[in-house]
Structure 1
Amino acid sequence: MRKIVFAFAALAMISCKEEKKEGNLHIKGNVEGLKQGTLYIQKIVDTALVAVDTIVIKGNSHFESHLTIDSPEMLYLFLDRGETNSIDNNLMFFAEPGNMTIDTRLDSFFAAAKITGSENQKLFEEYRKIMSRYKNTQLSLTEEKLRALQFKRDVSSDFDKKNSDNLKRKYLMAINFALNNKDHDIAPYIALADIYNANIKYLDTIDKSMAPKIAQSKYGKMLTKFVAERKQAEQKQ
């Protein structure tokens, strides 16, 4: 009898391990040049980053992870380099169920990253590239203002207007990108992450335009709740 109990216990343990290994998201990758260190796959829970998997690298720079996610969401690959300090140690990626690959290098962890296997990640990279134009314009305007202040020159009279116009174009581009990709989880993510303080009518439009499947996803539900709360708060003002 005891042998039978132990056998069932062993089978249960194996079953649990296999279930954990399978999941619905399989990530494999390589950090070229990494001989020793620890990789953490993290997600945001409430307002904190929480590790959902820990991978210790010793000699072999390839890594693999099996996770379960309810719907596509932004995850973070964090590299603990040990004694070597670097600000280039965090890589965000839009995960979705299926097989994903993350290949990068130790000496350029963020910039050299190539991520495949996620349609939302492709859209996120496209969106980030578009947004970089407006970010660069804002940096140029700020640099121009700082130089004027440094050398005690008058700041350009149209500085505020240029800055405001750039910000408006940035917001409109983000709104249009979300609306044009309403069938993907990137739409509610952009609304929540980048334009949460935009006019409520724009957020409401994005919320109502989402495909039914997206509306029931993690970010879709969050956006619907956020819009409802903002509407309620603004009505009280």
Structure 2
Amino acid sequence: MKRALSLFALLFIVAACNNEEKHPDSNLHITGEIKGLKKGKLYIQQLRDTTLTTLDSIIVNGDATFDSYLNIDGPEMLYLFLDRGQTKSIDNSLPFFAEPGEMTINSTNENFFAKAKITGSENHKMYEDYLKMKSRFTNKNLELLEQSMEAEKEGNTAIKDSIDKQMENLLKKRYLFTVNYAINKGDYELAPYLVLSEVNDVNIVYLDTVQKSMSPKVAKSYYGELLTEYIAERRKAVEAAKSE
């Protein structure tokens, strides 16, 4: 039994070494399974300057498992797109915060987005934690919106104004939560990404605070440099407005 286990372990190591030799330029290996998917295509995409670029495409024909070898400059948000061959399919895009190393993405054909389980990335784990808290703000906002519409229908202006004020305060709380979350995660590339994607119109004072909280490594990352450039553009716009 011990010999069999040792042989299995040896074969596993050899297989891993062979894969590394076949993909010497890759620094990210993604494996996974889309249960229930019999036939279709998977695309791993990268967003650059508002344009999605395909980094890898995988044909699924009978075997729902997949793997992909990529080379990325550093941690960043990528997208796993599922083409089921159905033009009306909307549950087909899965964002994931990729990191160099080994990652696993498992999901199902019927609930591609909702049932996704992603491991191997600390940035993505924290991103999921953020989304859970954000969903609370979103759900509360929808609840207040429904109440506001009902008050408007009944012609009750006082109640509607009160509810609208609550919605405004809730938005401020979500913005502050996002900024504080980013500040506390200054050692991770997720920090500048959240600010740029979730609250880029926040007061520039908060943007400065997030920027100062970033570690040197994060400041030099793709999103770190984007945030620095964005803050500079915001400053120029403020100065231009003052001179008019």
State whether TM-score is above 0.5.
yes
Deviations 1:103-147 (A, max 9, x none): 001111011100000000000000000111111111111111223
> 1:20 offset after TM fit, Å?
4.6
1:77 partnered with 2:80: yes
Q: SS of 2:82's equivalent? A: strand
- Structure 2 CA distance for aligned equivalents of residues 50 and 144 of structure 1: 42
Partner of 1:13: none
- Matched to 1:191, the amino acid is V
1:189 partnered with 2:163: no
Gaps of 5+ in 2: 1-19
What is the aligned counterpart of 2:54 among 51, 72, 77?
51
TM-score (normalizing by structure 2): 0.86
Q: SS of 1:125's equivalent? A: helix
- Structure 2 CA distance for aligned equivalents of residues 57 and 87 of structure 1: 19
> 1:19 offset after TM fit, Å?
6.2
1:86 partnered with 2:89: yes
Deviations 1:75-119 (A, max 9, x none): 000101113732111100000100000000111101110000000
Deviations 1:148-204 (A, max 9, x none): 344555452312210110001000000000001000011000111011000000001
Partner of 2:3: none
Provide the identity percentage.
Answer: 49
Q: SS of 2:111's equivalent? A: coil
Q: SS of 1:141's equivalent? A: helix
- Matched to 1:145, the amino acid is S
Partner of 2:140: 137
Gaps of 5+ in 1: 1-16
- Structure 2 CA distance for aligned equivalents of residues 56 and 206 of structure 1: 41
- Structure 2 CA distance for aligned equivalents of residues 108 and 21 of structure 1: 34
Figure out how many residues of one structure are paired with residues of the other and give that number. Answer: 221
- Structure 1 CA distance for aligned equivalents of residues 24 and 149 of structure 2: 53
1:180 partnered with 2:184: yes
1:119 partnered with 2:118: no
- Structure 2 CA distance for aligned equivalents of residues 209 and 177 of structure 1: 11
Partner of 1:35: 38
Could you say what the CA RMSD is over the residues aligned between the two structures, in angstroms? 1.6
TM-score (normalizing by structure 1): 0.89
Mapped contact 2:211–2:227 kept (Cα < 8 A): yes
Mapped contact 2:147–2:163 kept (Cα < 8 A): no
What is the aligned counterpart of 1:216 among 214, 220, 227?
220
- Structure 2 CA distance for aligned equivalents of residues 83 and 115 of structure 1: 25
- Structure 2 CA distance for aligned equivalents of residues 199 and 84 of structure 1: 41
Partner of 1:9: none
Q: Which runs of 4+ in 1 moved over 4 A?
A: 17-22, 150-155
- Matched to 1:192, the amino acid is L
